[in-house]
Amino acid sequence: MITFVGAGPGAEDLITVRGQKLLKEADIVVYAGSLVNPGLLSVCREDCEIYNSAKMTLEEVIEVMEAGERSGKRIVRLHTGDPCLYGAIREQMDELKKLDIAYEVCPGVSSFCGAAAALNAEYTLPGVSQSVVITRMAGRTPVPGRESISSFAEHQATMVVFLSACMLKELSAELILGGYHEDTPAAIVYKATWPEEKVLRCTVKSLAATAAEAGVTKTALIVVGRALEGEYERSKLYDPSYTTEFRKASAHSADSKTKETCKSEKQKKRGTQQ
């Protein structure tokens, strides 16, 4: 069995409990060395074979997996963040399928979530944006024309741009072309959740200058949108005048009755035990 494991965005304690258990038990680990924090491997057994896929081709990765599988070993393929985003897992899965080797996925915390945490941001603010566009500028990997940054910018939704830290002038131009005002709040989050994390707040117009000043050219996410700053509407979910599946609407927001309903689940349990 091969398990594709999401390593999380960087911090050693942001891998899932399940992912770490799989690492502890693994006989072989193939990790994406360009981005995965090598500190995560400290839980591996002494005799675990460790390969850095940054120096390998797809064929070489599959060779290691196939040989390991044939000798009954437990294999972890460790990808940064969550493997479903820019992880090149599908091509590995298709090769494994051809070889009749079973595989599964253990998800991870994607860096776009790590970046939100670093920014203390809610990407989906009522009255501002209820969608997150995850995309990238075209690089060596082309992006289909219908998915241009400018076409997404038209929606004015929150955008998180991967793999584009070295193309910020072009990114700004595309965002403005699509309809973002040049003063729209933006942020560059370098190595979110790593000890060397940098959070640079700026505007759509000043992305390139801000990154240049801080010397950021890679391992960064660009977040764009009014969700980063400014007005928004409060949620309906916690609005006292709204009834939800779990709570009846009340006219007063902070009376003793509300306090009573706000008793924690723990307090309630304690109450029933007494």
Positions in the binding site for ligand SAH (CB under 6 A): 9-10, 35, 79-82, 85-87, 110-111, 114-115, 162-163, 189, 191-194, 219-221
Of 72, 55, 78, 69, the residue nearest 97 (C-alpha): 69
Residue with tokens 């929606």: 155
**Between residues 69 and 163, which has the closer beta carbon with respect to ligand SAH?**
163
Return the H-helix or E-strand segment holding 266. Answer: helix 265-273
Distance between the two ends of the chain, CA-based, in angstroms?
49
User: In this structure, are residues 56 and 77 in contact, taking their beta carbons and an 8 Å threshold?
Assistant: no
Least distance to ligand SAH from the beta carbon of 262, Å? Answer: 36
**Between residues 86 and 232, which has the closer beta carbon with respect to ligand SAH?**
86
**Between residues 218 and 270, which has the closer beta carbon with respect to ligand SAH?**
218
Report how far apart, in Å, the C-alpha atoms of 64 and of each of 41, 47, 59, 94, 211 are: 18, 16, 9, 15, 39
Least distance to ligand SAH from the beta carbon of 170, Å? Answer: 15
218 forms beta bridges with none
**Between residues 120 and 267, which has the closer beta carbon with respect to ligand SAH?**
120
Least distance to ligand SAH from the beta carbon of 85, Å? Answer: 4
Comparing every residue's Cβ against ligand SAH, the nearest one is 81
Least distance to ligand SAH from the beta carbon of 193, Å? Answer: 6
